[in-house]
A and B are shown apart, each in its own frame.
Chain A
Amino acid sequence: MRNPVQKLVLALAWVGVLACLLFVQGVQAEEAPADPTAAIGEIKVALDTVWVLLAAFLVFFMQAGFAMLEAGLTRSKNTGNIVMKNLMDFAVGSIIYWAVGFALMFGVGNGFIGHTGFFLRDTFAHLGLAIPLDAFWIFQVVFAGTAATIVSGAMAERTKFGAYLIYSAAISAVIYPVVGHWAWGGGWLSKIGFIDFAGSTVVHSVGGWAALAGAIVLGPRLGKYNKDGTINPIPGHSILSAALGVFILWFGWFGFNPGSTVSALNLSIASIAVTTNLAAAAGACLALILTWLKYGRPDVSMTLNGTLAGLVGITAGCAAVTSGAAILIGAAAGILVVFAVEFFDRIKVDDPVGAISVHAVCGAFGTLAVGLFAKEGGLFYGGGFELLLTQATGVATVFAWTFGLALLLFLAIKATVGLRVTEKEELEGLDLGEHGMSAYPEQVDMERSLAGVVRVEALGR
């Protein structure tokens, strides 16, 4: 037990502590409380940023979708090469887009092109972004990557890897960013009211027309077309891989379309997700029905393409049309893509995965469809022909720019470093010829697969 003196000291100490606490509390209470409006503003920015980043990550994952789809629809002797093309067009594209592309697309400029902010050395304040520049950039780079990777499918199984890298750098540096500037970077297309919300034209048609140029300059795969005009099917090696690719692309598209609001507070992200999904579903259903009627049995790979056709088709108008219209647009795209695939085969443009049919043709269609179905200004809503003509202008000019430039580029590559592999290499497979490896070593030859088996000498017996 403490003596009375100790008790007194203890009591005084406690009083002192209490007094200090009250004093501090009082001091704090005298400061102004945090401004609620500013706090809400901060939360808004955070929400928008998180949404844009999430959407960007979803669109990035579409790279995996493209890789799986393209690998699945091509032969196993070329799988390693397809993987490399898909990996590197994003890797190379990312750096080039950071250094040059983004500036041309979103920099201060004129109606044709931007010219400030190379290497992201600018605030880009003129964009009036509500989110950090980095968030906006990463969102944009994955879109650029999507345009670039479309081409690898149409040019699969016969393109020199180095030549492909050159093309890849060019599309991410110039071809795509200029179109992006016209429509989204304050350029002349946006000024005349052109609507391409998430990129049916800017991303998918750009990729698709470049793919067309590439496929034409390359020529068809060996043994694809006979002299009498008949077509030899070259089946892909894994329909399961192709299907997984389509599912991944569908999933990623939920970042592609709704993400293009660039804001979480714009609750149309919900209706955009719905139009996106319905168009994909309708595209799949109509491709299914059409192939069932045409070929007698529902065709798996065409139905997969039909799904993508619906997605590409709705990308321009996902924010401007009703759910019902989305179904019609997706359905029409699903039908269109089947005929387009057959058409390109008939004119001997060999496209192993249907990239041109899905992205160029349905991209153009989806863009025009906005002129018909937009709730504000669409022909079917009493808007007259004005929007439709604006959309057509965009489609035509982007075709001319993209196809023209890409054609020149591929012809230049062909004349210099060469675009196509040798016949011998094409027959052996690009994995061996371009990369000195095999994606499926156990299937190549016994000697190589035995190389993986443990050697008895190594066991020390």
Chain B
Amino acid sequence: MKKVECIIRPSHFNAVKDALASIDVQGMTVTQVMGFGKQKGHTEMYRGSEFQVNLLPKIKIEVIVKDQHVAQLVDVVSKAARTGEVGDGKIFVYDVVDGYRIRTGEQGEAAI
């Protein structure tokens, strides 16, 4: 079982959500985050003083999948989220030790 964490542009959220639906991903957790990588921020002005805004809004999507589905998921998300410009985002894959469905008590891959 793996957790796939995708940090993408907010503008591409719908495209990625649809792409995930097309490969039968059953659920996801979405958070609004701020961050930066190589993409620089911008300069703002407030009442005569300049300040740098380096944190940019992004969307983080977390999905839990079986090991054999990770490659396809990474491929599908990348295609949906890519623009070719700096700031497209990142995907990280983590090991999941265990999981449970609260309603039924199912454990392991049955919980996905």
User: Would you call A231 and B45 a contact (CB within 8 A)?
Assistant: no
Q: A183 to B44, alpha carbons, bound, how many Å?
A: 44
Q: How far is the CB of A308 from chain B (nearest CB, A)?
A: 14
**B47 contacts partner chain A, Cβ-Cβ < 8 Å:** yes
User: Would you call B46 and A235 a contact (CB within 8 A)?
Assistant: yes
Chain B interface residue count, CB cutoff 8 Å, equals: 7
Q: A411 to B34, alpha carbons, bound, how many Å?
A: 43
Neighbouring A residues of B49 by C-beta, 8 Å:
231-233, 345
**B92 contacts partner chain A, Cβ-Cβ < 8 Å:** no
Q: A124 to B86, alpha carbons, bound, how many Å?
A: 75
User: Would you call A232 and B47 a contact (CB within 8 A)?
Assistant: no
Neighbouring A residues of B46 by C-beta, 8 Å:
233-235, 301
Q: A389 to B49, alpha carbons, bound, how many Å?
A: 37
List CB contacts (< 8 Å) of A342-382 with chain B.
342, 345, 354
**A299 contacts partner chain B, Cβ-Cβ < 8 Å:** yes
Neighbouring A residues of B45 by C-beta, 8 Å:
295-297, 299
Neighbouring B residues of A294 by C-beta, 8 Å:
48
Interface string of A137-178 (1 = CB under 8 A from B): 000000000000000000000000000000000000000000
**B51 contacts partner chain A, Cβ-Cβ < 8 Å:** yes
Q: What residue in chain B is nearest A234 (Cβ atoms)?
A: B46
Q: A341 to B48, alpha carbons, bound, how many Å?
A: 8
List CB contacts (< 8 Å) of B39-61 with chain A.
44-49, 51
Q: How far is the CB of A347 from chain B (nearest CB, A)?
A: 13
A contact residues, range: 10 to 19
List CB contacts (< 8 Å) of A294-345 with chain B.
294-297, 299, 301-302, 338, 341-342, 345
Q: How far is the CB of A66 from chain B (nearest CB, A)?
A: 18
Q: What residue in chain B is nearest A346 (Cβ atoms)?
A: B48
Q: What residue in chain A is nearest B51 (Cβ atoms)?
A: A233
Interface string of B45-87 (1 = CB under 8 A from A): 1111101000000000000000000000000000000000000
Q: How far is the CB of A46 from chain B (nearest CB, A)?
A: 47
User: Would you call A295 and B51 a contact (CB within 8 A)?
Assistant: no
User: Would you call A341 and B47 a contact (CB within 8 A)?
Assistant: yes
Q: A231 to B48, alpha carbons, bound, how many Å?
A: 9
User: Would you call A302 and B51 a contact (CB within 8 A)?
Assistant: no
Q: What residue in chain B is nearest A305 (Cβ atoms)?
A: B47
User: Would you call A299 and B47 a contact (CB within 8 A)?
Assistant: yes
Q: A430 to B70, alpha carbons, bound, how many Å?
A: 49
User: Would you call B47 and A354 a contact (CB within 8 A)?
Assistant: yes
Neighbouring B residues of A297 by C-beta, 8 Å:
45
Q: A235 to B47, alpha carbons, bound, how many Å?
A: 9
Q: A354 to B51, alpha carbons, bound, how many Å?
A: 19
Q: A297 to B47, alpha carbons, bound, how many Å?
A: 12
Neighbouring A residues of B48 by C-beta, 8 Å:
231, 294-295, 302, 338, 341-342, 345
Neighbouring B residues of A235 by C-beta, 8 Å:
46
Neighbouring B residues of A232 by C-beta, 8 Å:
49, 51
Q: How far is the CB of B45 from chain A (nearest CB, A)?
A: 5
Q: A437 to B51, alpha carbons, bound, how many Å?
A: 31
List CB contacts (< 8 Å) of B1-57 with chain A.
44-49, 51
Q: A354 to B47, alpha carbons, bound, how many Å?
A: 9
Q: What residue in chain A is nearest B43 (Cβ atoms)?
A: A296
Q: A192 to B104, alpha carbons, bound, how many Å?
A: 89
Q: A341 to B45, alpha carbons, bound, how many Å?
A: 14
Q: A302 to B45, alpha carbons, bound, how many Å?
A: 11
Q: A297 to B42, alpha carbons, bound, how many Å?
A: 14
Q: A314 to B49, alpha carbons, bound, how many Å?
A: 29
Q: A297 to B43, alpha carbons, bound, how many Å?
A: 12
Q: What residue in chain A is nearest B45 (Cβ atoms)?
A: A295
Q: A233 to B50, alpha carbons, bound, how many Å?
A: 8
Q: A295 to B51, alpha carbons, bound, how many Å?
A: 12
Q: How far is the CB of A449 from chain B (nearest CB, A)?
A: 16
Neighbouring A residues of B47 by C-beta, 8 Å:
233, 299, 301-302, 341, 345, 354
Neighbouring A residues of B44 by C-beta, 8 Å:
233
Q: A235 to B51, alpha carbons, bound, how many Å?
A: 11
Q: A234 to B44, alpha carbons, bound, how many Å?
A: 12
Q: A346 to B47, alpha carbons, bound, how many Å?
A: 12
Q: A201 to B51, alpha carbons, bound, how many Å?
A: 35
Q: How far is the CB of A265 from chain B (nearest CB, A)?
A: 44
Q: A297 to B46, alpha carbons, bound, how many Å?
A: 11
Q: A354 to B45, alpha carbons, bound, how many Å?
A: 16
Q: How far is the CB of B47 from chain A (nearest CB, A)?
A: 6
Q: What residue in chain B is nearest A224 (Cβ atoms)?
A: B49
List CB contacts (< 8 Å) of A203-262 with chain B.
231-235
Which of B44, B46, B48, B51 gathers the greatest number of chain A CB atoms within 10 Å? B48
Q: How far is the CB of B1 from chain A (nearest CB, A)?
A: 28
Neighbouring B residues of A233 by C-beta, 8 Å:
44, 46-47, 49, 51
A–B Cβ pairs within 8 angstroms, 7 of them: A231-B49, A233-B51, A296-B45, A301-B46, A341-B48, A345-B47, A345-B49
Interface pairs A-B: 4 shortest CB-CB: A233-B46, A231-B49, A342-B48, A233-B49
* Additional pairs, 5, CB under 8 Å, beyond known A231-B48, A345-B49: A231-B49, A233-B46, A235-B46, A295-B45, A341-B48
A residues near B (Cβ < 8 Å) are: 231-235, 294-297, 299, 301-302, 338, 341-342, 345, 354
